[in-house]
Structure 1
Amino acid sequence: MTSTSDRPELGAQDTEKMPVVEREPDSPAPRQGGRDRYFDLLRAVALFRVVLYHLMGWAWLPIVFPSMGVMFALAGNLMSRSLGKRPGPEVIRGRLRRLLPPLWLLGVIGVTGMVLAGWGPGEEGHPAWWWLHLGYWVLPLSDPPYAEVSHGIQGLVADDWPTALGVPLWYIRAYLWFVLLSPLLRRSLRAAPWTTILAPLVLSAGLEFTSATTTSWRLDSTLTDFATFGSCWLLGMAHHQGVLQKLPRYTVPSLAPAVAAVALWYALAHDLHQDHDLDDMPFAQSLWSFATVLLLLHLSPSWRTWPPALRRWDGLITLLNSRAVTIYLWHNLCIVIAEPLWDHAWNIPYLESHAVWLLNSPWPVLPLTWLLTALCVLTFGWTEDLAAGRRPALWPNGRQKGLRGWRR
């Protein structure tokens, strides 16, 4: 999940001396190789917003910045770039190789902890289903199973830690399906660009207004997430292939705010509040994410180097991008650990007497959560390097080489 390539600038050429080379029909309105730092910034902001939302639960955060739609769009852009260079099966294998090992490590630790705490084959009605569903920790074609509650550690880990571990995994499942479908989506995008891009929104509307369901909640979840975020993934692919660049410049600034307004109206009409936000309204989420992603891609400045105001953040943004999977997989568990740790501050007499407001505030939990997440990056992040065939690094902020003595 990294960047796109830049549109090359064409200089004057001596056509009598230089042969004419035809481009492929779908070749992106492309950019030169290398990282697009604008996309890196979007991914870093998206990750930070995800952590902040899971801690605070503010309903307005997904409106200010719809992280999941942005992350799917960036991943779709990268997938399109890869499919333009290598055969589909090879690209899919490469994506699975990068995605699955960090998930497997989480599963080994998490499932082992749940089993030791008493979770087992009797949890899903029939032992055979439990064993079968464990396979989703290996290949998450559906949501990996987890215990609703399990014995925590008094004063250190709350009993709902399995839920914190398992709930965010819907993104991994949705990402996997988008990867598997991308060769087909790419062909469809070439044949009928805007019909393909808008099809998931039509599906989302159909699911919303017909209340259509299947016989399986697992299939329902997969269809709903495809309908909600499929257009974002396709916008990312379309941006790389040059589809968006062919639109008149006034189209996106005129259309996107109108779509966003419909999404916001629909959310407000369906009781948007603290415990009922866009994540609970797939249709509103699909429209809002589509509109926001469309604007962000339209505005895309394609930075090869950082603007002066952002250069100081280069190391942090590089680190967040290099360890995006690790941060996403472990941050929610870090929140569940950070909250009871902060509760120990009530044992400090001065704070209890003079700063009750601070003890009741969630803000001190935020840096504590990021500290624990940083420890997870140090402890588990190297699996992302191994999965990608890179030299392992403990803290890949762009200023550190891999571990000495490592050989591929």
Structure 2
Amino acid sequence: MRNRYLDLLRFLAIIRVVVYHVTGWATLTLVFPAMSVMFALAGSLMAASLDRSGPSAVGRRLRRLLPSLWVVAAIFVPAMLLAGGLPVSWRLALWLFPITDPPANGWGALALSVIWYLRDYLWFVLVSPAALWLFRRAPLPTLLTPYVLLVVVELGFPGAPVVLRDFGLYFGAWLLGFAHHDGMLRRLSRRVLVAVAGLLATAGGAWILTHPGARGYDLNDIRIGNALWAAAFILIALGFAPSGAAWVDRNALLGRAVTVFNRRALTVYLWHMPFVVALTPLVDVVGWSHQDLLGLAIRVVLVFLLVGVVTMLVGWVEDVAARRPPELLPGRRRTRTPGPVVVPSPRTAAAETRVAAATEATSSAGATPVRVS
């Protein structure tokens, strides 16, 4: 049975990502480090899949991950080729299996910039069987490795490949998902959990304040601070996670929204950025600015509406990839079809009458009733 608390976290993370990309508010990255939370949740689910299915879970996870990307590629790659600026080469195959960033032209690189998440997710899935094996034999050294890697790369090799840098930034969150699945966070005393989270948050906050990026205190520009701050957030969010959150479904609208966003997470994530980019010219045409709260609110609503339309059109691909019956909009409660009414035959009815009569007579005589098989 799904843990609705984890579903709620993913729902909030996706909402935060979309709102951040529309508004550009750096504060949102501090209040809710959504990408690290999404990787932590994915790591927990990956560990569960490996326990259930073994190494074959890798193939199953890729089967659920890639088709939504292929839909995007089937639309945007031809568009970029026709628009120009995208050379035809073998690198186009990366749109089928993005172990590194697939090629794009100028506007495509911006509209499809969120592909990095699938690139990192793909790598994390591929290394998960070995990583889980190591984690369960040496939890702390394995967990510390990506953070040490991040510090070494950021301070000593700033030109390192982006995949390597992202391993340091986000794979620690993925491993914290392993710890959540294995119950390690739950077994820690609350005092220890809060103390460790407080230490990480203090170190991360100090780094953020003393190393502002190009956009100020936006965590996306401050990798070491991002990793430490997000780790503290995940420890609290998952370390104190309840076994469930039944209250989510007590409100029909909220429960349906959480279900839809979880079943269509990839579709929403992949398609929101093209609409953010497409609506950006409205800032100049209408005269809105990033300080215009009404204008920003309208853009957020428009992006969600457009994503909703696309989700209705192609979101069912996620159902097919997960081998679920395809649905236009997930979460609809199915009414059970009543089974056929069985009418007992006269012989069966007569037998039941004789048994009942015998039982009643025996009971009235004070004897123990005889079982009838």
Q: TM (normalized to structure 1)?
A: 0.77
Residue equivalent to 1:138: 96
Cα 1:288–1:378 change in 2 (3 A) is: same
How much does 1:136 deviate?
A: 1.1
How much does 1:309 deviate?
A: 7.0
Residue 297 of structure 2: which of 363, 366, 376 is its match?
Answer: 363
How much does 1:276 deviate?
A: 5.9
Residue equivalent to 1:154: none
How much does 1:343 deviate?
A: 6.7
Alignment of 1:329 with 2:270, yes or no, is: yes
Cα 1:310–1:342 change in 2 (3 A) is: farther
- CA offset digits 1:82-110 (Å, max 9, x no partner): 1111121x101111111111101101101
Aligned partners of 2:194 and 2:332: how far apart in 1? 35
Residue equivalent to 1:59: 26
Aligned partners of 1:260 and 1:383: how far apart in 2? 39
**1:113 is matched by which residue type in structure 2?**
A
Q: TM (normalized to structure 2)?
A: 0.84
Cα 1:310–1:274 change in 2 (3 A) is: farther
Answer with 304-313 or 34-43: which moved more: 304-313
Residue 70 of structure 2: which of 95, 104, 125 is its match?
Answer: 104
Aligned partners of 1:314 and 1:400: how far apart in 2? 15
Report if the CA contact (8 A) 1:345-1:359 is conserved: no
Alignment of 1:377 with 2:343, yes or no, is: no
Report if the CA contact (8 A) 2:214-2:221 is conserved: no
Cα 1:180–1:221 change in 2 (3 A) is: same
Residue 125 of structure 2: which of 162, 179, 190 is its match?
Answer: 179
Alignment of 1:228 with 2:200, yes or no, is: no
Residue equivalent to 1:283: 224
**1:87 is matched by which residue type in structure 2?**
G
Aligned 1:162-201 pairs, distance under 5 A:
162-201=108-147
The root-mean-square deviation of aligned C-alpha atoms, in Å, is 2.2
Question: What secondary structure does 2:114 align onto?
Answer: helix
Question: What secondary structure does 2:181 align onto?
Answer: helix
Aligned partners of 1:119 and 1:337: how far apart in 2? 18
Report if the CA contact (8 A) 2:150-2:168 is conserved: yes
Report if the CA contact (8 A) 1:393-1:400 is conserved: no
Report if the CA contact (8 A) 2:112-2:274 is conserved: no
Report if the CA contact (8 A) 1:59-1:273 is conserved: no
**1:251 is matched by which residue type in structure 2?**
V
Cα 1:269–1:394 change in 2 (3 A) is: same
Residue 295 of structure 1: which of 236, 259, 264 is its match?
Answer: 236
- CA offset digits 1:324-358 (Å, max 9, x no partner): 00000000112123344687667xxxxx9xxxx96
**1:194 is matched by which residue type in structure 2?**
L
Aligned 1:50-129 pairs, distance under 5 A:
50-88=17-55, 90-121=56-87
How much does 1:397 deviate?
A: 2.8
Aligned partners of 1:75 and 1:231: how far apart in 2? 12
How much does 1:305 deviate?
A: 1.9
Aligned 1:252-267 pairs, distance under 5 A:
252-267=193-208
Aligned partners of 1:175 and 1:376: how far apart in 2? 23
Residue equivalent to 2:352: none
Aligned partners of 1:246 and 1:358: how far apart in 2? 47
Higher helix proportion (structure 1 or 2): 2
State percent identity of aligned pairs: 39
Cα 1:198–1:98 change in 2 (3 A) is: same
How much does 1:195 deviate?
A: 1.2
Aligned partners of 1:250 and 1:314: how far apart in 2? 33
Report if the CA contact (8 A) 1:238-1:244 is conserved: yes
**1:110 is matched by which residue type in structure 2?**
F
Residue equivalent to 1:270: 211
Question: What secondary structure does 2:65 align onto?
Answer: helix
Residue 393 of structure 1: which of 323, 327, 330 is its match?
Answer: 327
Q: Unaligned regions of 5+ residues in structure 2, if any?
A: 336-373
Aligned partners of 1:375 and 1:274: how far apart in 2? 32
Aligned partners of 1:320 and 1:308: how far apart in 2? 14
Report if the CA contact (8 A) 1:229-1:289 is conserved: no
Alignment of 1:245 with 2:211, yes or no, is: no
Report if the CA contact (8 A) 2:150-2:169 is conserved: yes
- CA offset digits 1:173-225 (Å, max 9, x no partner): 000000001000110111101111121111111112223544xxxxx111111
How much does 1:144 deviate?
A: 1.3
Q: Unaligned regions of 5+ residues in structure 1, if any?
A: 1-33, 122-129, 149-159, 215-219, 347-351, 402-408
Report if the CA contact (8 A) 1:102-1:384 is conserved: yes
- CA offset digits 1:244-297 (Å, max 9, x no partner): 233222111111022112111111111257466211121111111111111111
Report if the CA contact (8 A) 1:206-1:212 is conserved: no
Aligned partners of 1:36 and 1:138: how far apart in 2? 32
**1:296 is matched by which residue type in structure 2?**
A
Aligned partners of 1:359 and 1:252: how far apart in 2? 38
